[in-house]
Amino acid sequence: MSPALSPRPPASVIGRRVNRVEGRAKVTGQGRYAADHHPAGLAYALGVGSPIAAGKLLALHTAAAERAPGVIAVLHRGNFPKLTPSPNNFSDGTKVGEVRLPFADDTIFYAGQWIAVVVAESFAQARAAARLIRADYREDPPELSLGTAQWPERSQLSADAPDLTRGDPDRAWREAPVKVEATYTTPVEVHNVLELHAATAAWDQGKLTVEDSTQWVVGARKALAKILDTPARDITIRAPFVGGGFGGKLFVWGHTIIAAAAARKLGRPVKLVLERKQAFTVVGHRPATRQRLQVGARTDGTLVMLRHDSVMHTSKVDEFVEVCGEATKVMYRCPHLAVTHRLVALNVGTPTPMRGPGAVPGLFALECAMDELAVKLRLDPIELRRRNEARKDPQSGLPWSSKHLEECLDVAARRFGWKQRQAQPGSMRDGSEILGWGFAAATWPGWRMAASARVELRRDGSAKVLCATQDPGTGTYTVVAQIAAEVLGLPVEKIEVAIGDSSHPEGPISGGSMATSTVVPAIAAAARAALDNLRRLAVSRRGPLAGAAAGALIWRDGVLTDRRRRRSAPLAQILASAGLTQVKGEATAGPGAEAKKYSFRSFGAHCVEVRWDPGIARLRVSRVVSAFDVGRIINRQAAENQVHGSIVMGLGMTLQEASLYDPRTGRVVTDNLADYVMPVNADTPAMDVAFVEHPDLRIGEFGARGVGELGMAGVPAAIANAIYHATGRRFRDLPIRIEHLLG
């Protein structure tokens, strides 16, 4: 299906296991994160959140805090600088985490909502003073429940997720010979990035620099320009090192706005670092979902209809849809389909994308329902997927750019040893343990955006690459270095990568698993532009290869050669002839006409083994074997790292994670890393990750679609299906904990 891989030169660095080029800086402490900056005159800010979840702020008592040692100011609605709400569009880069500005009014919409910020000479002083702030409220009963109805009374339809119908799903459901109907729920989950959200903001002669922990320096600059009413050219956002994002740092949140506005008002640099508990309320989360699935099939397992109705919460001040049915519409060939989403606005902070938004909870429901269908049909669950393979995009009708799901099924099954599986639940034993083997398939969009980059080829044979993108731990630094090294024919060590700075040429958001697919062609084009400019210098009147045709010059090992006249000139000589120390190349690259002719998606397959010891009520995920179709792998090590992390996040989602609100107060009761249970090393299964490598040259040069979120999609279903296979019990509500297994 996909174009054949052209033979690569043996020295190619593409696809290899290349160590992180920024790794040394990180482990030696040279890599500076947003909170590691201490500009002269720095003041420390700490935000104060509302203890109530609904009502009105009647009075704020700040006098004691203002008198406390070291306090510079207590800022709040009464004295905070006037700001302009962001237009809040993803397409023009102004998307923010929550469109309501901090301190915009006296209404309390959720617990933790900013009501004041203390700015002091030290962090300890800010914290001590923050405890002295008192407030009077009128408290209303908070709305915190999605309810139990599939179509809750107060639910709203979002323009971001219109209802979708294919064929006649109602009739197909009535007439289907085999039916599965089930409801699945997923709880609130929180990103829990290791590096807390932080912003250090400094103004200098009307120009703002923010050291921000963000997945999108370009977006932060554009949104802050609107909010602060300052030209974007006067704003620089820097994020050279980001300690994890997972979606929680895609868009500008209140703390960055507060730091920037407070720094301008006070005439001093201001640093605001969230407390861990605040990261549970004011910087997004994955919303709770309830999803009803109807699956209708023929007795041979062929799907005739799918219905996927999802309800999830948003906040009272902004709209975020967890698009659970996004994958459902394309996962299987299926003539009749209905996909709906409804939002219920609750007294909680605004939700935001979290690792595989939509697809991860959505595929939990869909892939569990498929397993339930397989059980009903007495059909092997992998065979059921094979029988419903979609050979083109069933929603758009477009051909796939490159799809190899069936190969993923084969590879995962073979490496796992799936053939040994006995279908009867509880029938596979190993001593006191019962083995459960479960399966799920996965998909994620193959997105690509436009991006620009600059490459500077220097006299000493090294090069610098500049692009305003980020590396939140994903491997982008190394991927960028590899592409530049490949095109320039230089060793990776000779490439200096400058990213995480909005003043560089505009690069992509680190989100949606599209940074790699987006930057790779742009870096390659910029590197080639630098070489083209070098050729032009070489053949110019004063150049060492004057008179040659620029296009005919061969570049190799730092030397341009004119084969026809048997002359060559090294890089340094060419630059010297022009009186230069470096030659630059700039390029912008984006999706072309192909983007409209094909459907771009990545696919995957997970086989999971759990071990259930009923005697001591112990459940462990012991083995995960996954195969992915993500196009060309640029860096095998980074790609595997991404998937390993995703699988572990999927394990946490299935067995452990849930952020709970006290139903009386609306406060988060799991607002720390002890009560919000997450996987630790001891929970981590043996993981075997395979990539079926078919470069998708339709998405762009090198054919990389990007890895990351796909790795988590499907994992919760595969684990839940394995638990069914071990115990004979179907758990449809996450997380599945020991108390449920015992119940």
Catalytically annotated residues: 709
Residue 191 Cβ, how far from ligand MOS at the closest point, in Å? 8
At residue 355's C-alpha, the angle toward residues 740 and 671, to 5°, is 60
Is 257 or 354 the residue whose CB approaches ligand MOS more closely? 354
Is 196 or 741 the residue whose CB approaches ligand MOS more closely? 196
Residue 137 Cβ, how far from ligand MOS at the closest point, in Å? 34
Residue 350 is classified by DSSP as: P
Residue 556 Cβ, how far from ligand MOS at the closest point, in Å? 40
Concatenating the DSSP letter of every residue in 358-377 gives: THHHHHHHHHHHHHHHHHHH
Residue 517 Cβ, how far from ligand MOS at the closest point, in Å? 13
Residue 287 Cβ, how far from ligand MOS at the closest point, in Å? 13
Is 245 or 695 the residue whose CB approaches ligand MOS more closely? 245
Concatenating the DSSP letter of every residue in 195-263 gives: S--EEEEEEETTEEEEEE--S-HHHHHHHHHHHTT--GGGEEEE-S--S--TTTTSSB-HHHHHHHHHH
Residue 361 Cβ, how far from ligand MOS at the closest point, in Å? 12
Spatial CA neighbour of 74 closest among 129, 112, 26: 129
A 10 A CB-CB count for 242 gives: 24
Residue 415 Cβ, how far from ligand MOS at the closest point, in Å? 28
Is 13 or 515 the residue whose CB approaches ligand MOS more closely? 515
Spatial CA neighbour of 237 closest among 535, 474, 470: 470
Burial class (CB in 10 A: 0-12, 13-18, 19+), 159: exposed
Residue 289 Cβ, how far from ligand MOS at the closest point, in Å? 15
Residue 463 CB contacts under 8 Å (≥ 6 apart), including other chains: 455, 456, 457, 484, 488, 490, 494, 495, 496, 527, 530
Residue 659 Cβ, how far from ligand MOS at the closest point, in Å? 16
Tell me how far apart the 2 most distant CA atoms of the chain are, in Å.
87
Residue 698 CB contacts under 8 Å (≥ 6 apart), including other chains: 2, 3, 401, 402, 594, 598, 600
Angle between helices 359-377 and 715-727 (to 10 degrees): 30
Extract the tokens encoding 115: 């009501």
What are phi and psi for residue 712, nearest 5 degrees?
A: -90, -30
Concatenating the DSSP letter of every residue in 701-741 gives: GGGB---SGGGTTTHHHHHHHHHHHHHS----BSS--HHHH
Q: Cα separation of 266 and 79, whole Å?
A: 12
Is 445 or 631 the residue whose CB approaches ligand MOS more closely? 445
Identify residue 333 by its one-letter amino acid code: R
- Which residues bind to ligand MOS, rule: CB under 6 A? 215, 245-247, 250, 353-355, 357, 511-512, 709
Is 236 or 513 the residue whose CB approaches ligand MOS more closely? 513
Q: Cα separation of 20 and 571, whole Å?
A: 28
Tokens 């609130």 -> residue: 188
Residue of closest CB approach to ligand MOS: 247
Helix, strand or coil, per DSSP, at residue 627? strand
Spatial CA neighbour of 75 closest among 254, 282, 239: 254
Alpha carbon separation from 739 to 484, 619, 743 (Å, rounded): 53, 11, 6
Concatenating the DSSP letter of every residue in 296-323 gives: EE-TTS-EEEEEEEEEEEEESS------
Kindly state the helix (H) or strand (E) to which residue 479 belongs, with its residue range: helix 476-488
Spatial CA neighbour of 447 closest among 247, 160, 696: 696
Is 173 or 216 the residue whose CB approaches ligand MOS more closely? 216
Establish how many alpha carbons lie within 13 A of residue 178's alpha carbon, considering only the half-sphere containing its beta carbon: 18
Residue 608 CB contacts under 8 Å (≥ 6 apart), including other chains: 437, 438, 439, 440, 621, 623, 624, 625, 685, 715, 718, 719, 721, 722
Residue 473 Cβ, how far from ligand MOS at the closest point, in Å? 11
Alpha carbon separation from 279 to 49, 286, 314, 479, 573 (Å, rounded): 11, 13, 17, 30, 55
Residue 711 CB contacts under 8 Å (≥ 6 apart), including other chains: 604, 626, 628, 642, 643, 644, 645, 646, 647, 650, 689
Residue 283 Cβ, how far from ligand MOS at the closest point, in Å? 13
Is 55 or 356 the residue whose CB approaches ligand MOS more closely? 356
Is 217 or 530 the residue whose CB approaches ligand MOS more closely? 217
Is 251 or 603 the residue whose CB approaches ligand MOS more closely? 251
Residue 604 Cβ, how far from ligand MOS at the closest point, in Å? 16
Alpha carbon separation from 568 to 140, 530, 559, 584 (Å, rounded): 80, 18, 7, 21
Spatial CA neighbour of 408 closest among 419, 400, 416: 416
Q: Cα separation of 453 and 469, whole Å?
A: 10
Contact 513/709 with Cβ under 8 angstroms? yes
Query: Does residue 735 have a cis bond before it (omega within 30 degrees)?
Result: yes
Residue 314 Cβ, how far from ligand MOS at the closest point, in Å? 16
Is 219 or 394 the residue whose CB approaches ligand MOS more closely? 219
